[in-house]
Chain A
Amino acid sequence: MTPKKLGLKQRYALMTRGLDWETTYQPMDKVFPYDRFEGIKIKDWSAWEDPFRLTMDAYWKFQGEKERKLYAVLDAFAQNNGQTGISDARYTNVLKLFLTGVSPLEYQAHRGFAFAGRHLRGVGPRVAAQMQSLDELRHVQTQIHTISHYNKYFDGLSEFRHMHDRVWYLSVPKSFFDDARTAGPFEYMIAIGFAFEYVLTNLLFVPFMSGAAYNGDMSTVTFGFSAQSDESRHMTLGIEVIKFLLEQDADNLPIVQRWVDKWFWRGHRVLGLVAMMMDYMLPKKVMSWKEAWEIYFTEAGGSLFTDLARYGLKVPKYADVATADAEHISHQNWATFYQYTHAAAFHTWMPDRAHMDWLSEKYPNTFDKYYRPRFEMWAEMEKQGQRFYNNSLPQLCQVCQIPMVYTEPGDPTKIAFRCSQVEGETYHFCSDGCKDIFDAEPQKYVQAWMPVQQIFQGNCGGASIPDVLAWYRLNAGADNMDYVGSPDEKLWNDWHAAAARAAG
Chain B
Amino acid sequence: MAQIASITLLHNDDARPIIEAILADNPGCRVLNMPGAVKLDRDDELVVRRASVEARIGRAWDPQELQLVIVSMAGNLDEDDDHFTLSWKH
Alpha-carbon distance A46/B55, docked complex (angstroms): 37
A373 CB within 8 Å of chain B: no
Known contacts A213-B35, A228-B72; decide if A58 and B79 are in contact (CB<8 Å). no
A8 and B71 form a contact (CB under 8 A): no
> Chain A 267-287, CB within 8 Å of chain B: the 1/0 string?
000000000000000000011
Query: Which residues on A sit within 8 Å (CB–CB) of B65?
Result: 62
Alpha-carbon distance A9/B21, docked complex (angstroms): 24
B6 and A300 form a contact (CB under 8 A): yes
Query: Which residues on A sit within 8 Å (CB–CB) of B35?
Result: 210-211, 213-214, 221, 286
Contact of B79 among A51, A207, A214, A303 (CB under 8 A): A51
> Chain A 225-258, CB within 8 Å of chain B: the 1/0 string?
1001101110110010000000000000000000
> Chain A 396-422, CB within 8 Å of chain B: the 1/0 string?
000000000000000000000000000
Q: How far is the CB of A328 from chain B (nearest CB, A)?
A: 25
Range, interface on chain A: 35 or more
Alpha-carbon distance A156/B38, docked complex (angstroms): 33
Determine the residue in chain A with the shortest Cβ distance to B11.
A213
Alpha-carbon distance A52/B34, docked complex (angstroms): 26
Query: Which residues on B sit within 8 Å (CB–CB) of A53?
Result: 79-80
A206 CB within 8 Å of chain B: yes
A8 and B3 form a contact (CB under 8 A): no
> Chain B 37-79, CB within 8 Å of chain A: the 1/0 string?
1010000000000000000000000001101111111111111
A83-104 interface with B by 8 A CB criterion: none
Determine the residue in chain A with the shortest Cβ distance to B14.
A69
B4 CB within 8 Å of chain A: yes
> Chain A 56-74, CB within 8 Å of chain B: the 1/0 string?
0010001001100100000
Q: How far is the CB of A293 from chain B (nearest CB, A)?
A: 15
Contact of B68 among A65, A210, A214, A295 (CB under 8 A): A65
B69 and A229 form a contact (CB under 8 A): yes
Alpha-carbon distance A214/B34, docked complex (angstroms): 9
Contact of B70 among A214, A229, A302, A307 (CB under 8 A): A229
Contact of A302 among B1, B34, B81 (CB under 8 A): B1
Q: How far is the CB of B15 from chain A (nearest CB, A)?
A: 11
Contact of B72 among A66, A235, A287, A306 (CB under 8 A): A235
Q: How far is the CB of A19 from chain B (nearest CB, A)?
A: 19
Determine the residue in chain A with the shortest Cβ distance to B80.
A8
> Chain B 1-39, CB within 8 Å of chain A: the 1/0 string?
101111010100000000000000000000010111101
Determine the residue in chain B with the shortest Cβ distance to A211.
B35
Alpha-carbon distance A202/B34, docked complex (angstroms): 14
Query: Which residues on B sit within 8 Å (CB–CB) of A302?
Result: 1, 3
Query: Which residues on B sit within 8 Å (CB–CB) of A379?
Result: none
Determine the residue in chain A with the shortest Cβ distance to B44.
A303
A301-338 interface with B by 8 A CB criterion: 302-304, 306-307, 310
B73 and A232 form a contact (CB under 8 A): yes
Q: How far is the CB of A55 from chain B (nearest CB, A)?
A: 10
Candidate in A53, A229, A239, A302 with the most chain B CB atoms within 10 angstroms: A229
A7 CB within 8 Å of chain B: yes
A51 and B77 form a contact (CB under 8 A): yes
B71 and A300 form a contact (CB under 8 A): no
A54 CB within 8 Å of chain B: yes
Candidate in A53, A54, A69, A210 with the most chain B CB atoms within 10 angstroms: A210
A206 and B68 form a contact (CB under 8 A): no
Alpha-carbon distance A446/B52, docked complex (angstroms): 57
B36 and A209 form a contact (CB under 8 A): yes
Query: Which residues on B sit within 8 Å (CB–CB) of A211?
Result: 35
A54 and B64 form a contact (CB under 8 A): yes
Known contacts A213-B35, A286-B35; decide if A58 and B64 are in contact (CB<8 Å). yes
Determine the residue in chain B with the shortest Cβ distance to A221.
B36
A299 CB within 8 Å of chain B: yes
B4 and A300 form a contact (CB under 8 A): yes
Query: Which residues on B sit within 8 Å (CB–CB) of A299?
Result: 4
Q: How far is the CB of B17 from chain A (nearest CB, A)?
A: 17
Q: How far is the CB of B68 from chain A (nearest CB, A)?
A: 6
B81 and A206 form a contact (CB under 8 A): no
A62 and B81 form a contact (CB under 8 A): no
Query: Which residues on B sit within 8 Å (CB–CB) of A214?
Result: 35-36
Determine the residue in chain A with the shortest Cβ distance to B63.
A8
Alpha-carbon distance A202/B36, docked complex (angstroms): 15
A232 and B68 form a contact (CB under 8 A): no
Determine the residue in chain A with the shortest Cβ distance to B1.
A302
B34 and A206 form a contact (CB under 8 A): yes
B77 and A307 form a contact (CB under 8 A): no
A52 and B79 form a contact (CB under 8 A): yes
Query: Which residues on A sit within 8 Å (CB–CB) of B4?
Result: 299-300, 303
7 contacts between A and B (CB under 8 A): A8-B80, A53-B80, A213-B36, A235-B72, A302-B1, A303-B88, A307-B76
Write the residues of chain A forming the contact surface with B, with a CB cutoff of 8 angstroms: 7-9, 51-54, 58, 62, 65-66, 69, 202, 205-207, 209-211, 213-214, 221, 225, 228-229, 231-233, 235-236, 239, 286-287, 295, 299-300, 302-304, 306-307, 310
The 4 closest A-B pairs by CB, nearest first: A213-B36, A303-B3, A214-B35, A51-B77
User: Beyond the given A228-B71, A232-B70, A295-B32, could you list 14 further A-B residue pairs with CB under 8 A, ordered by the A residue number?
Assistant: A51-B77, A53-B79, A62-B67, A65-B68, A66-B68, A206-B8, A207-B34, A209-B36, A210-B36, A229-B10, A232-B67, A232-B73, A303-B88, A306-B88
